[in-house]
Amino acid sequence: MSLFAFLGTLEIGLIYGLVALGVYLTFRILDFPDLTVDGSFPMGGAVAATAIVAGINPWLATILATLAGSCCGLITAFLAVRCGILHLLASILTMIAAFSINIRIMGRPNMALLGEPTIFTPFESLGFNQLHVHLGIVFLLVLLSAVFIIRLLSSDFGLGLRATGVNDRMVAAQGGNIGFYTYFGLALSNGFVGFAGALFAQSNSFADVTSGVGTIVVGLAAVILGQTLLSSSKIWVSVVAVIVGSILYRLAVAFALSSGMFGMQASDLNLITAVLVAIALVIPKMKAKLRVKSLRF
Amino acid sequence: MKGLKGITLFCVVMLLLMSAANTFAQTYKVAVSQIVEHPALDATRQGLLDGLKAKGFEDGKNLEFTYQTAQGNPAIAVQIAKQFVGEKPDVLVGIATPTAQALAASTRTIPVIFTAVTDPLSAKLVKNLTHPEGNVTGLSDLSPVAQHFDLMQELVPDLKVIGVVYNPGEANAVSQIELLKKSAKAKNIQIVEATALKSSDVQGAARIIASKVQVMYALVDNTIATAIDALVGVANQAKIPVVGGSTSFVASGAVAALGFDYYQVGVQTADYVEAVLQGKKISEIPVSFAKGSDLFLNLKAAEALGISLPDAMVKRATNLKK
Amino acid sequence: MIHLENIRITFNAGTILENKALRNVSLTVSEGQFLTIIGSNGAGKSTLLSAVSGETPISEGSVEIDGVDVSNWPVHKRARFAARVFQNPLAGTCATLSIEENMALACKRGKSRGWHLALSSKRRNFFQDRIAILGLGLEDRLGDSIGLLSGGQRQAVSLVMATLADSHILLLDEHTAALDPRMAAFILELTNTVVKEFSLTVMMVTHSMKDALASGDRTIMLHQGKIIFDVAGEERDCLDVPHLLEMFSRVRDEELADDSLLLG
């Protein structure tokens, strides 16, 4: 793998690290299997691209994209909390609706940003290497997001959020509003995913409605992979772990793409993802078994 | 802590492999990124490979031809682009819109040739068709929709209603639908459309409209291309002909198709690659539209539907399936 | 003070499974009173408690806590008036959080939760002082996940948690029933200590007639959704378990007699 490909992989891994953060919030913290991300990721890209092409400042466009992602989350939460639709189904409804909405937003399925200003252009015009600029800014934004999440989950409010996914009856007994936590958690999660979509579109100069396909699988793979390698009850470790997991996932993909290596090719990706997730799921059980054995002897 | 050790080990292994992969060869390197595997795009790639061979660039001899498919996933297309750009090939080839965009976004220096892109202007791959400014040029496969329209009228003399199934999520399909509606409006013919977001939806979508239309138009759409057999099956049940935008559809039972042989599109793409390998500047290589519209007819399918094909049409056909 | 007025709760109303869990129950628990509630399975003891906490919506009647009509309030809003300890030790705490995080959750019961760090050194000291009362050595293990504790230990922590926010009503739903006898005795003793120290108003549901008479200062017995007797003061002091059983069977017989009259 070349350095260029390695850095490029890091960048995509970091961007999808935001997706993994979102998935971590819903699947792990709220215990709410949320597939909305397949819709909110391309929506982030669609909103950012449309806004930028319309002449809106790229940073403002990115914020709009984040809010659009949050709205997707709120809709899923509304369907689940208020209408009582099973959470998985509620999120699938939002996901498929988002596909149509994304085409409406852009007016077509693919919108190009080549040559348009992005959040990266001011720094590129200073003469820095394009890839370094992208990687640097994405790294900073992901770092800020991670710090924000860690701080939030360490607050009084965050504690309520964390308990909601484990024991909602107890949270209610302690005066926590489960419905509100669900709304908030889903909006936050999908906000991050929309943010990631906006960064992806600006970094790669296009937004495409099909870019959402499989986002949830990639996010989940990152969460499981990261948390298996770095398992801890400490929040900051978990947050770092899911981002690391996302980077590792992308490195594994890059592995498969490195032409000729182990005879793998891109069409083996789905298999690799499945194997990675399966290994990550099996390792904790193996560890537990080993522990039992070492106790016995 | 054990986890950390594992990661460190992993990174070390990765770095070793990275350095090992950097081998240099005294040949031309062409890297091809394709969005998804389906017959038309695969034919394009094969045409490119054969076209290059005819020009004296042979894979394994003086040509290193690398190829990856993104499985329809734009994020993977981006990773493929980074991978390829990092390998510093002489020419990058992007088959279909998102792959070409991902390549163009990843490098400003390595020449990028796109092919099978319907609308290179709105995809922002080039700003000027005749004088591309950056490092990107290529071949558009804009489907000759107006000609398809004439073909359908020729086939069904009292044509009033045309049915079409397409994926609104595909840029290529949407621009063809727009062209089709433009032609239809001018000739006062009604278009009945049904959308299919994935190939498994095509059959159902076709069933809904099949009984209301006189002819089924199969435009050039990755989703339709994958499910062309299902579309033809529904049309046969409804006893209406399928007219296609891709000649490969005829083999699946479409009565007539006017389009590019995507293999030929690939062969034409080889001209671009050759020009770049010979050192021609991108700005001197204008974007062109794929030539050589072939007319394929399926006599057996026409007979089964009780349609007699006009003699003039049979005469000018480039391929007859009996 | 807790005031229940003509509470009626019917499950599956209008169906073949219709179950009148509470039938026109009125009850006033005055400030500082420690009420124990007994009754056989399905008598409506737990339903009575969840009518106060809000977990079970009432079909008719009204619930008033400290003079506020809370009949239509959701559980989380009522939480500011009353702390609860559940029968299942797993229900009252959050297994994946640490002991101190559980306590931080509880000390904000019924208050708005904001951006403040949940664990400050000030709070940690406060938690340490409070949990030291238990004498279980938990003050040195505040960072441990609460899931590592035994059921009894978790129940003890739940009781401490119930005192962290400044409400003065405690609802105990058979909170010793799932424990082994020794631990149950310890928790009951702890309950009495805590109630006295913080002068709490208590409603305690229990299976054990002995416990019901040994703790608190007033006892009611529920049968088929009705309060069948209500004793306090001297009358209660003279009561023992056989006595209670006798009263219970007498009431039941009367009811049977009523039923047979109806049938006849």
Least CB–CB distance from A175: residue in C90, C95, C110:
C110
Query: Using CB atoms, which chains have 3+ pairs under 8 A with B?
Result: A
Cα–Cα distance measured from residue C6 to residue C26, given in angstroms and rounded to the nearest whole number = 5
Other C-beta atoms within 10 Å of A294: how many? 8
The SS3 call for residue C28 is strand
Looking at residue A260, its pLDDT comes to 57
Looking at residue C251, its pLDDT comes to 75
Which of B73, B126, B166, B221 to probe by mutation at the A interface, max A CB count within 10 Å?
B73
Q: Considering only alpha carbons, which residue of chain B is nearest residue A7?
A: B82
Cα–Cα distance measured from residue B239 to residue B89, given in angstroms and rounded to the nearest whole number = 51
Label residue B215 by pLDDT band (50, 70, 90): very high
Distance (Å) from the C-alpha of residue A170 to the closest C-alpha of chain C? 5
H or E stretch at A201: helix A178-204
Other C-beta atoms within 10 Å of B288: how many? 15
Count the alpha carbons within 13 Å of B301 in the hemisphere toward its beta carbon: 25
* One-letter amino acid of C119: L
- Please check the confidence at residue A106 and state whether its pLDDT lies above 70: yes
H or E stretch at C103: helix C99-107
Cα–Cα distance measured from residue A210 to residue B77, given in angstroms and rounded to the nearest whole number = 12
B177 contacts in chain A (CB < 8 Å): none
Q: Give the bridge partners for B257, in sequence order.
A: B244, B296
Sheet strands side by side (includes C68-69): C19-29, C2-11, C60-65, C68-69
Chain A residues at the C interface, defined by Cβ less than 8 Å, are 152, 154-160, 162-163, 166-167, 169-178, 233
- Please check the confidence at residue C104 and state whether its pLDDT lies above 80: yes
- Please check the confidence at residue A134 and state whether its pLDDT lies above 80: yes
Q: Is C179 exposed, middle or buried (0-12, 13-18, 19+ CB in 10 A)?
A: buried
CB contact under 8 A, C113 and A233: no
Label residue B4 by pLDDT band (50, 70, 90): low
Q: Give the bridge partners for C148, in sequence order.
A: none
- Please check the confidence at residue B19 and state whether its pLDDT lies above 60: no
| Residues B32/B51, Cβ–Cβ less than 8 Å | no
- Touch between chain C and chain B: 3 or more Cβ pairs under 8 Å: no
CB contact under 8 A, C97 and A166: yes
Looking at residue C167, its pLDDT comes to 83
Residue B317 token pair: 């056909």
Looking at residue A194, its pLDDT comes to 98
- Please check the confidence at residue A272 and state whether its pLDDT lies above 80: no
Other C-beta atoms within 10 Å of A52: how many? 26
- Please check the confidence at residue B108 and state whether its pLDDT lies above 70: yes
Distance (Å) from the C-alpha of residue A172 to the closest C-alpha of chain C? 5
- Please check the confidence at residue B188 and state whether its pLDDT lies above 50: yes
Label residue B20 by pLDDT band (50, 70, 90): very low
The SS3 call for residue C10 is strand
Most confident of A135-139, B144-148, C112-116: A135-139
pLDDT above 90 as % of chain A:
70
Residue C7 token pair: 């509470």
- Please check the confidence at residue C109 and state whether its pLDDT lies above 70: yes
pLDDT above 90 as % of chain C:
66
Cα–Cα distance measured from residue A1 to residue B236, given in angstroms and rounded to the nearest whole number = 51
Helix axes B74-86 and B97-106, enclosed angle (nearest 10): 40
H or E stretch at A14: helix A3-23
- Please check the confidence at residue C257 and state whether its pLDDT lies above 70: no
- Please check the confidence at residue B293 and state whether its pLDDT lies above 50: yes
Q: Is B130 exposed, middle or buried (0-12, 13-18, 19+ CB in 10 A)?
A: exposed
Cα–Cα distance measured from residue B143 to residue B220, given in angstroms and rounded to the nearest whole number = 7
Beta strands at C2-11 and C60-65: parallel, antiparallel or unpaired? antiparallel
Of A186-195, B263-272, B295-304, C228-237, the range with the lowest mean pLDDT is C228-237
CB contact under 8 A, A5 and B86: yes
Beta strands at C218-223 and C34-39: parallel, antiparallel or unpaired? parallel
Tokens 């995080």 locate to C101
Cα–Cα distance measured from residue B83 to residue A20, given in angstroms and rounded to the nearest whole number = 23
Of A186-190, B237-241, B313-317, C15-19, the range with the lowest mean pLDDT is C15-19
| Residues B192/B209, Cβ–Cβ less than 8 Å | yes
Beta-carbon pairs below 8 A across chains A and C: 93
Cα–Cα distance measured from residue A59 to residue A62, given in angstroms and rounded to the nearest whole number = 5
Average pLDDT rounded to a whole number, residues B276-280? 92
Beta strands at B319-321 and C2-11: parallel, antiparallel or unpaired? unpaired
Tell me the pLDDT tens digit for each residue of B259-273. Answer: 878 898 999 999 999
Looking at residue B9, its pLDDT comes to 59
Looking at residue B24, its pLDDT comes to 42
Tell me the pLDDT tens digit for each residue of A8-47. Answer: 999 999 999 999 999 999 999 999 999 999 999 999 999 9
CB contact under 8 A, B73 and A214: yes
B106 contacts in chain A (CB < 8 Å): 8, 204
Looking at residue A297, its pLDDT comes to 46
Looking at residue B287, its pLDDT comes to 94
Looking at residue A265, its pLDDT comes to 65
Label residue A264 by pLDDT band (50, 70, 90): low
Which of A169, A174, A231, A235 to probe by mutation at the C interface, max C CB count within 10 Å?
A174
Cα–Cα distance measured from residue A131 to residue A134, given in angstroms and rounded to the nearest whole number = 5
Give residues with Cβ within 8 angstroms of A238, minimum separation 6: A24, A28, A227, A230, A232
Least CB–CB distance from A170: residue in C91, C101, C118:
C91
Cα–Cα distance measured from residue C146 to residue C124, given in angstroms and rounded to the nearest whole number = 16
- Please check the confidence at residue B238 and state whether its pLDDT lies above 50: yes
Distance (Å) from the C-alpha of residue A169 to the closest C-alpha of chain B? 35
Cα–Cα distance measured from residue B121 to residue A238, given in angstroms and rounded to the nearest whole number = 45
Question: Residue C26: phi, psi to the nearest 5?
Answer: -120, 135
- Touch between chain C and chain A: 3 or more Cβ pairs under 8 Å: yes
Rounded alpha-carbon distances, angstroms, from residue C68 to A128, C74, C75:
66, 14, 15
CB contact under 8 A, A266 and B71: yes
Query: What interface predicted TM-score (ipTM) does this complex get?
Result: 0.89
Tokens 């050192």 locate to B279
Average pLDDT rounded to a whole number, residues B107-127? 92
Question: Residue B6: phi, psi to the nearest 5?
Answer: -60, -45
CB contact under 8 A, A174 and C114: no
C114 contacts in chain A (CB < 8 Å): 155-157
Give residues with Cβ within 8 angstroms of B99, minimum separation 6: B33, B34, B35, B70, B77, B80, B81
Which of A116, A206, A279 to probe by mutation at the B interface, max B CB count within 10 Å?
A206
Helix axes A235-257 and B2-21, enclosed angle (nearest 10): 20
Please report, for chain C, how many H helices and E strands are present, in that order: 9, 10
Which one, of C256, C224, C238, lies nearest residue C41 by Cα?
A: C224
- Touch between chain A and chain B: 3 or more Cβ pairs under 8 Å: yes
- Stated pTM of the model: 0.84
Tokens 């083996």 locate to A268
Residue B94 token pair: 């992007």
CB contact under 8 A, A158 and C91: no
Distance (Å) from the C-alpha of residue C92 to the closest C-alpha of chain A? 5
CB contact under 8 A, B68 and A1: no
Label residue B1 by pLDDT band (50, 70, 90): very low
Residue C124 token pair: 């940690």
Task: Reduce the secondary structure of chain B to three states and give it as a string.
Answer: CHHHHHHHHHHHHHHHHHHHHCCCCCCEEEEEEECCCCHHHHHHHHHHHHHHHHCCCCECCCEEEEEEECCCCHHHHHHHHHHHHHCCCCEEEEECHHHHHHHHHHCCCCCEEEEEECCCCCCCCCCCCCCCCCCEEEEECCCCHHHHHHHHHHHCCCCCEEEEEECCCCHHHHHHHHHHHHHHHHHCCEEEEEECCCHHHHHHHHHHHHCCCCEEEECCCHHHHHCHHHHHHHHHHCCCCEEEEECHHHHCCCCEEEEECHHHHHHHHHHHHHHHHCCCCHHHCCCEECCCCEEEEEHHHHHHCCCCCCHHHHHHCCEEEC
CB contact under 8 A, B85 and A266: no
Least CB–CB distance from A157: residue in C53, C74, C113:
C113
Residue C104 in contact with partner chain A when CB distance is under 8 A: yes
Tell me the pLDDT tens digit for each residue of A158-176. Answer: 999 999 999 999 999 999 9
Give residues with Cβ within 8 angstroms of C125, minimum separation 6: none
Tell me the pLDDT tens digit for each residue of C128-179. Answer: 999 998 889 999 999 999 999 999 999 999 999 999 998 889 999 999 998 9
The SS3 call for residue C200 is coil
- Please check the confidence at residue B22 and state whether its pLDDT lies above 50: no
Tell me the pLDDT tens digit for each residue of B45-95. Answer: 999 999 999 999 999 889 999 998 888 889 999 999 999 999 999 999 999
Which one, of A176, A60, A81, lies nearest residue C75 by Cα?
A: A176
Tell which wins on pLDDT, C25 or B259: C25
Tell me the pLDDT tens digit for each residue of A136-161. Answer: 999 999 999 999 999 999 999 999 99
How does the average pLDDT of chain C come out, rounded? 89
- Please check the confidence at residue B3 and state whether its pLDDT lies above 60: no
Average pLDDT rounded to a whole number, residues A103-132? 89
How does the average pLDDT of chain A come out, rounded? 90
* One-letter amino acid of A62: T
- Please check the confidence at residue B183 and state whether its pLDDT lies above 80: yes
How does the average pLDDT of chain B come out, rounded? 88
